[in-house]
Structure 1
Amino acid sequence: MSIIVTGGDGYVGWPTALRIAERSDERVIIVDNFSRREWVESVGATSATPISSIEERLEAAREVHGVRNLSFVEGDLTDRGFVDQLLRVHEPRAVVHAAAQPSAPYSQINGERANFTQHNNMQATRNLAFGLHENDLPDTHLIETTTTGVYGAPDFPIPEGGAVMENEGQSDEVPYPAMAGSWYHLTKSHDAANLRLAHRQFGLPISDVRTAIVYGTETEETRADDRLKTRFDFDYYFGVVAHRFCAQAVAGYPLTVYGKGEQRKPFVSLEDAVEGLTRLALTDHAERPDEHVVYNQVTRPISIVGMAETIASVGDEFDLDVEVTHVENPRDEDETHQMEMANDRYMSLIGEQRQNFEGGVRDILETLTRYSDAITSHEDRFLPDVLEE
């Protein structure tokens, strides 16, 4: 038996595969087709951290951590024949599905990118679900990283799982409404519905891990050697807001908060995200649920202005003179919205938060100051329009 990690060349996938292999004697198979590297290059951006080849990564894992149970298979998950062969050969007891086109802005560029994103993401998930069912692997635990973005930004607390709906004196638990705001986020909304159906029709044990905004550059395993580093995107299309703010700080630009910036967003550190996925993958058959379970993979909400102020404060440790400025908000949004999201199930899974936002920012700035040339040479990829005028 084995564990498959799809998207294992990616930001979350690589450190997750590395941790699972380091903690287990089982064979861990990374699956990827290196599309993320191509998508980022296509928008004129780059990873701040140099990304080693997969061969160099595997060699470093053996040399540094003694990991000899990690291997790589190149392939496209939208190809049903490839997925069937992958599952038949390796007969995984768990699949951590972290492969997707992950950028909302990228999916919004035009109709071609929207169509590609929806086909790529949903076809891969359907192929895995049907592949497990039709290749007689009904006990394989399918763990997918969807996104908290499927929820939108409602004005009431978000449960970890279904919501109770009442009508004419009757009530039932129903899937939480999908109010996604991009063509990318809708792929994860559809994935969530397809995963629910796959459990009901095929009996597959499903963990729908709705991942918040992930920040950070390091995990316990990647710190040991530069060849083990994961990618770090800081551009408008693939870099999350915390990463773009950190890039602005390193490049000597003020952190521009739109409007009041008091709205809170859900966040989780890379370290905590990797820990949750690893624990789910390594949970043995007797202990894992045989159901369809939703986890809100978030440790805490953070306001945009609070995030900027934390980056400015930590920046002092790196001799960065970081200014936080407020500019007119070009977006139609509630600048004071307070996101509330239940996460009891996820926190029970990981035990406790392993890295707070301040610690994650410290990691980011330590990394980015080492690779500041990559930041400054691509500053046109992350500066907001207000600074370019």
Structure 2
Amino acid sequence: MVWEFEKEVEAIKKSLGDISFQDQRVLITGGAGFLGSWMSDVLVSQEAEVICVDNLASGLKSNVDHLLHLDNFSFIEHDITEPFFVEGKLDLVVHMASRASPFEFEHYPLEILKANTIGLMNSLECAKINQARLLYASTSETYGNPQVVPTPESYFGNVNAIGPRGCYDESKRCGEAFVTAYKDQFGMDTRIARIFNTYGPRMRFDGIYGRALPRFIDQALNVKPITIFGDGSQTRSFTYLTDQIEGLLKLARMDEARGCVVNIGNDQETSVLEMANKILNLTQSGSKMTFHPLPEDDPLRRKPIIERAREILGWEPKVSLEQGLTRTIEWYKSLK
């Protein structure tokens, strides 16, 4: 089975309408990761020049192998927490470099902290030198275990700085403070995206990286027990990659978004148990569910208010969970 990634790229380009990055020079840190590689695909297809920087800690070179022969794409293997300089003018810097799986927090807390602080500061310096726009890929985890649901961008959060998720949650919050400081002190053009649970082809299924959704698909297709933490009533905001990349690129490009912090997520709240059942139905798997203790500080609910994205970006998610899961399952099967 051959899985055609061009369908996703074309869907994103169509949803962008007149928004174009043609002839723009774009630096993407974490550009070989799940979302970074899809952004690279779209920008390259729009005839932007893309410089992809990734240390391959969680990104995969295979995600961008198909771009390496192109004149308007270059890959640099580098840890963005180390000093970095790009020759030539930049128009846009997108900072996406960070491990993001809860299973990684225990093993790589320092790397995560550094990526969202020191690494981000290096990206900000690149943008400042070039008078370029900067888009920071932040996260809904800045809200912690929210006491306000649905959650607006104005909510300050409920975060445990010394808990097991603190390295990610607090480094992203500190990253937002860095971006704001550069904006205020140097008059930079910055934008912050708070990304909610995004899924789709190129998500890693292997080992320590395994998040719930790809883990469930892997377990279902291999007729292994579906491992659910807690009772499955906790909710998430599942956004398919095409919707997410559309929102991020609109936020990066539109003049109206300058200085904005925007939730980019699905406002349809779905429980983990409901999502698991959808995967079992779509795969026609005979797997059984097993239930395990809920990890410490695991958020109980996720549901964004996305009125700001609707008003400023003209954005809202279009792909249903069933449609996105079907495409993700097709991709996973194509790897076999």
- What TM-score, normalized by structure 2, do the two folds share? 0.81
Which has the greater radius of gyration?
1
Measured after TM superposition, the shift of residue 208 of structure 1 is: 1.0
Measured in 2, the distance between the counterparts of 1:246 and 1:186 equals: 30
Measured in 2, the distance between the counterparts of 1:143 and 1:328 equals: 37
1:279 paired residue number: 250
The residue type paired with residue 271 of structure 1 is T
Measured in 1, the distance between the counterparts of 2:205 and 2:74 equals: 29
Equivalent position to 1:196, from 180, 195, 204:
180
Measured in 2, the distance between the counterparts of 1:76 and 1:314 equals: 39
Kindly tell me: are residues 258 and 362 of structure 1, through their superposed partners in 2, closer, same or farther at Cα, counting changes over 3 Å?
same
Measured in 2, the distance between the counterparts of 1:207 and 1:178 equals: 23
Choose between structure 1 and 2 for higher RCO, CA contacts under 8 A separated by at least 6 residues.
1
The 8 Å contact of residues 211 and 298 in structure 1, kept in 2 or not, is answered as yes
Instruction: Count residues with an aligned counterpart.
Output: 307
| Unaligned segments of structure 2, at least 5 residues | 1-23
2:125 paired residue number: 130
SS at match of 1:242: helix
Equivalent position to 1:361, from 316, 321, 325:
325
The 8 Å contact of residues 37 and 64 in structure 2, kept in 1 or not, is answered as no
Measured in 2, the distance between the counterparts of 1:90 and 1:158 equals: 43
- What do residues 124-151 of structure 1 show as CA deviations (whole Å, max 9, x unaligned)? 1012223433x2x34x211011110111
Measured after TM superposition, the shift of residue 311 of structure 1 is: 0.7
Measured in 2, the distance between the counterparts of 1:233 and 1:15 equals: 14
Does residue 1:96 correspond to 2:94, yes or no?
yes
Measured in 1, the distance between the counterparts of 2:171 and 2:41 equals: 27
SS at match of 1:353: coil
Measured in 2, the distance between the counterparts of 1:334 and 1:4 equals: 33
Measured in 1, the distance between the counterparts of 2:95 and 2:139 equals: 12
Measured after TM superposition, the shift of residue 275 of structure 1 is: 1.4
1:142 paired residue number: 134
2:157 paired residue number: 177
2:56 paired residue number: 34
Does residue 1:52 correspond to 2:62, yes or no?
yes
Measured in 2, the distance between the counterparts of 1:244 and 1:187 equals: 26
The 8 Å contact of residues 263 and 308 in structure 2, kept in 1 or not, is answered as yes
SS at match of 2:62: coil
- What do residues 22-45 of structure 1 show as CA deviations (whole Å, max 9, x unaligned)? 12x3322222232325xxxxxxxx
Kindly tell me: are residues 185 and 104 of structure 1, through their superposed partners in 2, closer, same or farther at Cα, counting changes over 3 Å?
farther
Kindly tell me: are residues 9 and 161 of structure 1, through their superposed partners in 2, closer, same or farther at Cα, counting changes over 3 Å?
same
The 8 Å contact of residues 96 and 144 in structure 1, kept in 2 or not, is answered as yes
Measured in 2, the distance between the counterparts of 1:332 and 1:131 equals: 37
The 8 Å contact of residues 196 and 237 in structure 2, kept in 1 or not, is answered as yes
Kindly tell me: are residues 333 and 129 of structure 1, through their superposed partners in 2, closer, same or farther at Cα, counting changes over 3 Å?
closer
Does residue 1:20 correspond to 2:43, yes or no?
yes
Measured after TM superposition, the shift of residue 330 of structure 1 is: 4.9
Equivalent position to 1:339, from 302, 305, 308:
302
Measured in 2, the distance between the counterparts of 1:334 and 1:251 equals: 27
Kindly tell me: are residues 266 and 236 of structure 1, through their superposed partners in 2, closer, same or farther at Cα, counting changes over 3 Å?
farther
2:110 paired residue number: 115
1:351 paired residue number: 315
- What TM-score, normalized by structure 1, do the two folds share? 0.71
Moved more, 326-335 or 122-131: 326-335
The 8 Å contact of residues 4 and 94 in structure 1, kept in 2 or not, is answered as yes
The 8 Å contact of residues 259 and 326 in structure 1, kept in 2 or not, is answered as no
The 8 Å contact of residues 204 and 290 in structure 1, kept in 2 or not, is answered as no
| Unaligned segments of structure 1, at least 5 residues | 38-46, 63-67, 164-175, 218-230, 373-389
Measured in 2, the distance between the counterparts of 1:73 and 1:334 equals: 35
